[in-house]
Each structure stands twice: as C-alpha cells, then as structure tokens.
C-alpha cells in the first residue's frame, strides 16, 4: 500500500509555531493541518491572535533600525544566498512538507515549487546589487547649478500574504525582494499550507537573519490574523497573492493607512489555437496549461478557443491526453495530478461542473470524482475535465474555477479569436499557438493581459514584469519592478 506522506516529513504529528523576533512562539490556540489526499490530520498549527500580530509588527519595526539597517548591501545579499543554501540543504523536507499540505505531485514539488523557492532568494540578492539611482545636474540662475540624486530606501515593514497553490514559490517571490531592498517583514501563509513557511523560518534562523527581520504568523484571513495584519497601523505596505475579492477587501483595509499595495489576483486565462500551429505541441502545451497542479495555478488556461478547421481533431486529442493523465498518490514518481487543496475547494469546483451541465455543456471527459477503493476516497480528488458547447455568458466561461477543467470553443477568424480571449473581467495571462510569426506578434500584442506566451506556457524569467490587468492585479513585480515596489527613491538636492 502506498503512503499519503513522503519521508522525511518534518513536524508530523507536532505543532507548527509562529516565529516572532527570532523565537518560535505558541499561541496555544490550534487549528488542524489536513492532508488532502486522505483527509487525515498532518499536524496542528498555532493560530496568531491580536497580541501576537502586535508583537510581530513591533519586532519588525524595531528591527528596521537595528543591525539590518547597518549591514552593508553585500552582507545582506550574502545572507539571502545563505537562506537559498539552507532551502537546498533541506530540499527533501521542503518537498515532503509541500506535497503533504497541498497534495501536489512529487515531480512538480521537486522541479518547480522548491527550486523556485531557493531561486527567488538568489535572483533578488543579485539583482538588488545593480539597482540604479538617478542623478541630474539642474541649472540655476546663478549659473552654478545643483546636483539632484536619489537614494533607494526600504518601504518599512511589509506584510506578505500568500495563497495555498504554490506556497513556498509565491511566498518567497515577494519575500525575497522585500528583504533584498532592506525591508523587514511579517508573512502570513495560507491557513491551508503552513508547513514550508515554518521550515523557512527555521532556515532563516539558522542562516543568521537578525531577530525581527523575518516574522511568521499562522492563521486565517477574514476577521482573523490576515485582516489584523492588513489593518495594522505599524504596517507600511501589503503585498498579496490570492483571490480578486480578497484583494478588494485588503484594499479597503489598507485605505486608512494609505499603505502601498501590490496584488497578484485571479485569472480566467484563454488559449488561442490557430490552424497554422504545430498541432502536437499545441495539444501538449494546452494540456499542461490546463492540468498542471490540478489547474490550481492562476496562470492556468480555463478557456480554449480553436480555429474551426482543426476543432474536432483538437478536442479529440485533448480528450485522449486528459484521459491518459495519472491521478493518484502525489508521492508516486509518475503521478501527474494529486487531489485539490481541500474538500471545501472541491465542493466549489464540483458546483461549477454542475452549473455547466445545467447550462447544457457537453462533457468531453471527466466531470466527476474518481474512485480508488482505498483511503484516497476520503481525499479531495476530481477528474481532469473538458467541456464544450457553452455560451460565453455561462458561469463557467465568466468565473475563475481554479481546478482541472477547461471549456473548448471554435472560432472562425483571427479578429473573433482576439475578441473572445479579451471578453473577460480578468486579464492575467494568454497563450497563442501559431507558426505564423507576424500573427504571433500581432495577436500577442492585442491580448488584454499582463503576459502572453506564444508556443509555450509558464516559461518564466524572473527579470521580466509580472502582474495582471482588470480584476487580475495591481502593479508589476519581477526584476526591477519588484525592486521599485519594495523601495522608494528619496531625492537629495545639493546646491553647487
Ligand atoms: P485567498 O484570497 O482566499 O487567500 C490568500 C491569502 O489571503 C491567504 O493567506 C488567506 O488567509 C488571506 N486572506 C483571506 N482573506 C483575507 C482578508 N480579508 N484579509 C487579509 N488576508 C486574507 O486565495 P487562495 O484561495 O489562497 O488562492 C487562490 C486564489 O489566488 C485564486 O483566485 C488564484 O487565481 C489566486 N492566485 C493568483 C496568483 C497571481 O499571481 N495572480 C497566484 C496565485 C494565486
Ligand atoms: O512564477 C511566478 O513568479 C508567479 N508569480 C506565478 C504565479 C502563479 C499563480 O498561481
């Protein structure tokens, strides 16, 4: 019999604590951390109350002015490299913890999530050394002029609020540049995925990050730890990844303090498949973009539009690929898809399936829950699913599902394909499959999104701008955009 967990699983059966001012702190108020493979408890999590939120923010404020500020940039960057080394040294534990919390496949945790956790620290530690400042010579009436130059200063105490789908990857994607630019931080991982953030606190501690620079609080969002943090007067900026409606709530909470905000939110991403594409590559790439991480990546494709002349073959090829995906134990080396994050999320995904069927969708494949005949039947699995036949106004075509599902529709002209892709309240990512170079540029530039991939999907270069338009986000991170969000230039004017 396979096991739901993977050795070495750290903190199994124990308590995951908060980390404040260099100490692990127990609130003595606990919630369960559940493995979505079988619904069993992995460990318990110490939930931060208002008192712990206040201590974490106070520790971060004090640390802003201490050793962290006096450290040279080279020393700060060396420490961040040490954190990356620490993640790599405990690689198997991070993989085991991420798999147990999320149910994601071993292959994905090993090749995407945990390596990116380390890479985020290395990339921003190196990029910040090249952060530019501005300098102008300004003319004055006496002819002697003035020298204007800028120095980059940290924003202060940054709250980092992360989601559950790529827990370590998305937490560190914001944490690393925040630290690299000299801020102190209070992070709150999702209540669904507390484990890798706790391991990261151990790595930070062992690397010698000064007390108070990195603080970790566990807890829920609305009316709980997350909201206490975003409303706190000691927080200068909030960087958040999660649902669009949570982004709106945080914006309201942050309004009183006029806090700086950076948001990466939901998506309802389209793929356009032209008849002149490399057919096999388009099928393979679209299948990957729909089903990676069980469709629980904000960049996943949920709306597929295919040129009518290849539509029937494309739907048949997608069906064959989806049916060949191996669903099961995340710990198996050849598993493609584990369970969804929780039963609660599965209920939401299944409700979308039901509404699509009620709206007249044709089920090409999936649409239900797989049966295993073992403890996985208590898990949060759903089948990889493909639907066709819905109108653009149906609920499935309008709202983000965040599950292993796409709807495929035909189109007749390039102009119609562009209009269909852009007909959404979201604007995060799009994918275009064509071998016509002119069309590739022409169509890519007309997508109302933050990123368009052509003949690929989720190919990342951390120096590039990343973010969404419309309901999909606020601001840009990545490369100089992250450095620019997490620091503020102060101008100094010297009369010559
Ligand atoms: P979520 O918005 O429910 O929760 C995200 C985090 O916010 C969690 O830590 C949660 O506890 C906290 N939170 C919730 N309500 C809060 C409040 N009122 N105040 C403060 N904190 C609060 O999102 P999720 O379900 O964890 O993640 C899935 C969603 O995230 C999807 O919509 C997905 O598209 C989006 N997402 C977007 C990106 C991106 O880069 N654009 C990346 C990953 C996920
Ligand atoms: O790869 C990244 O940097 C990134 N921000 C990915 C977001 C994925 C959303 O689920």
pLDDT bucket at 257, cuts 50 / 70 / 90: very high
Together in a domain, 275 and 223: no
Question: Which CATH number is 454's domain given?
Answer: 3.40.309.10
Q: Which of 77, 287, 298, 406 is catalytic?
A: 298
* The length of the chain, given as a count of residues: 496
The DSSP letter of residue 233 is T
Is 4 a domain residue? Answer: no
Report the C-alpha dihedral over residues 391, 395, 397, 398, rounded to 10 degrees: 120
Ligand 1 pocket member 24 (CB < 6 A): no
Question: pLDDT for 209-249, tens place per residue?
Answer: 999 999 999 999 999 999 999 999 999 999 999 999 999 99
Is 467 a domain residue? Answer: no
Together in a domain, 226 and 342: no
Together in a domain, 485 and 362: no
Tell how far CA 59 is from the center of its chain: 27
Ligand 1 pocket member 342 (CB < 6 A): no
- 299's CB contacts (< 8 A; 6+ apart) are 267, 269, 289, 428, 429, 451, 457, 458
Ligand 2 pocket member 420 (CB < 6 A): no
pLDDT at 462: 98
Alpha carbon distance 489, 93 (integer Å): 40
Is 6 a domain residue? Answer: no
- CA–CA distance from 360 to each of 306, 348, 354, 388, 395 (Å)? 20, 19, 10, 9, 12
Together in a domain, 81 and 137: yes
Together in a domain, 235 and 313: no
Question: pLDDT for 282-296, tens place per residue?
Answer: 999 999 999 999 999
Ligand 2 pocket member 165 (CB < 6 A): yes
Is 63 a domain residue? Answer: yes
Angle CA 379–170–464, to nearest 5:
135
State which of 166, 195, 237, 246 you would mutate to test the pocket of ligand 1, scoring each by most atoms of that ligand within 8 A of its C-beta: 246
Ligand 1 pocket member 36 (CB < 6 A): no
23 is catalytic: no
Alpha carbon distance 361, 408 (integer Å): 11
pLDDT at 1 over 60: no
Question: pLDDT for 82-139, tens place per residue?
Answer: 999 999 999 999 999 999 999 999 999 999 999 999 999 999 999 999 999 999 999 9
Proximal ligand: closest to the CA of 243: 1
Together in a domain, 32 and 176: yes
Together in a domain, 246 and 283: no
264 is catalytic: yes
Question: Which CATH number is 104's domain given?
Answer: 3.40.605.10
State which of 243, 301, 449, 481 you would mutate to test the pocket of ligand 1, scoring each by most atoms of that ligand within 8 A of its C-beta: 243
Together in a domain, 445 and 476: no
Index of the ligand 2 atom closest to the CA of residue 163 = 10
pLDDT at 112: 98
The DSSP letter of residue 329 is -
- Average of per-residue pLDDT across 346-359: 98
Ligand 2 pocket member 265 (CB < 6 A): no
Proximal ligand: closest to the CA of 239: 1
Residues spanned by the domain of 290: 269-460
What is the total count of domains within the chain? 2
Question: pLDDT for 362-408, tens place per residue?
Answer: 999 999 999 999 999 999 999 999 999 999 999 999 999 999 999 99
pLDDT at 226: 98
Together in a domain, 54 and 151: yes
Together in a domain, 478 and 450: no
Ligand 1 pocket member 341 (CB < 6 A): no
For ligand 2, atom 6, the nearest C-alpha belongs to 170
Is 123 a domain residue? Answer: yes
- Average of per-residue pLDDT across 59-71: 96
466 Cα to the center of ligand 2, angstroms:
8
Ligand 2 pocket member 460 (CB < 6 A): yes
Is 33 a domain residue? Answer: yes
Together in a domain, 489 and 414: no
pLDDT at 7 over 80: no
pLDDT at 485 over 80: yes
Is 5 a domain residue? Answer: no
358 Cα to the center of ligand 1, angstroms:
29
Together in a domain, 102 and 216: yes
414 burial type by CB count under 10 A (0-12 exposed, 13-18 middle, 19+ buried): middle
Q: Which of 47, 264, 400, 477 is catalytic?
A: 264
Is 62 a domain residue? Answer: yes
Question: pLDDT for 139-150, tens place per residue?
Answer: 999 999 999 999
């Amino acid at each position: 019999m396979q096991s739901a967990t993977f050795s070495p699983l750290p903190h199994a059966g124990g308590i995951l604590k908060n980390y404040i001012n260099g100490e692990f702190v127990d609130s003595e108020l606990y919630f369960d951390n559940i493995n979505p493979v079988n619904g069993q408890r992995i460990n318990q999590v110490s939930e931060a109350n208002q008192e712990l939120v206040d201590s974490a923010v106070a520790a971060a404020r004090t640390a802003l002015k201490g050793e962290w500020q006096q450290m040279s940039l080279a020393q700060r960057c060396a420490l961040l490299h040490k954190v990356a080394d620490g993640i790599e040294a405990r690689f198997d534990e991070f993989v085991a913890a991420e798999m147990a919390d999320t149910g994601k496949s071993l292959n994905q945790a090993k090749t995407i999530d945990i390596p990116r956790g380390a890479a985020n620290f290395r990339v921003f530690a190196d990029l910040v050394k090249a952060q530019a400042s501005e300098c102008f010579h300004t003319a004055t009436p006496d002819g002697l002029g003035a020298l204007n130059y800028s120095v980059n200063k940290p924003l202060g105490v940054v709250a980092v609020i992360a989601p559950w789908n790529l827990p370590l990857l998305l937490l560190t994607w914001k944490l690393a540049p925040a630290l690299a630019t000299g801020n102190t931080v209070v992070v709150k991982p999702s209540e669904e995925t507390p484990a890798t953030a706790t391991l990261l606190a151990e790595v930070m501690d062992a690397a010698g990050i000064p007390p108070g620079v990195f603080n970790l609080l566990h807890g829920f969002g609305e009316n709980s730890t997350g909201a206490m943090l975003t409303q706190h007067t000691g927080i200068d900026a909030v960087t958040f990844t999660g649902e669009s409606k949570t982004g709106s709530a945080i914006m309201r909470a942050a309004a009183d303090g006029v806090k700086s905000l950076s948001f990466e939110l939901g998506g309802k991403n389209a793929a356009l498949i032209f008849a002149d594409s490399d057919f096999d590559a388009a099928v393979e790439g679209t299948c990957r973009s729909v089903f990676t991480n069980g469709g629980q990546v904000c960049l996943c494709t949920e709306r597929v539009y295919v040129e009518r002349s290849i539509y029937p073959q494309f739907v048949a090829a997608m069906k064959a690929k989806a049916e060949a995906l191996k669903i099961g134990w995340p710990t198996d080396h050849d598993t493609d898809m584990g369970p969804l994050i929780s039963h609660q999320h599965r209920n939401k995904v299944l409700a979308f399936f039901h509404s699509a069927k009620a709206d007249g969708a044709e089920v090409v494949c999936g649409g239900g829950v797989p049966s295993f005949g073992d403890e996985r039947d208590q898990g949060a699995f759903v089948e990889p699913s493909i639907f066709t036949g819905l109108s653009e106004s149906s609920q499935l075509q309008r709202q983000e599902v965040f599950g292993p599902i796409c709807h495929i529709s035909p189109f007749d002209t390039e102009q119609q394909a562009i209009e269909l892709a852009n007909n959404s309240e979201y604007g995060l990512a799009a994918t275009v499959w064509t071998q016509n170079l002119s069309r590739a540029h022409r169509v890519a530039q007309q997508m109302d999104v933050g990123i368009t991939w052509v003949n690929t999907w989720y190919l990342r270069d951390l120096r590039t701008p990343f973010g969404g338009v419309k309901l999909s986000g606020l601001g840009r991170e990545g490369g100089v955009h992250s450095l620019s969000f997490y620091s503020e230039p102060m101008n100094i004017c010297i009369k010559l």
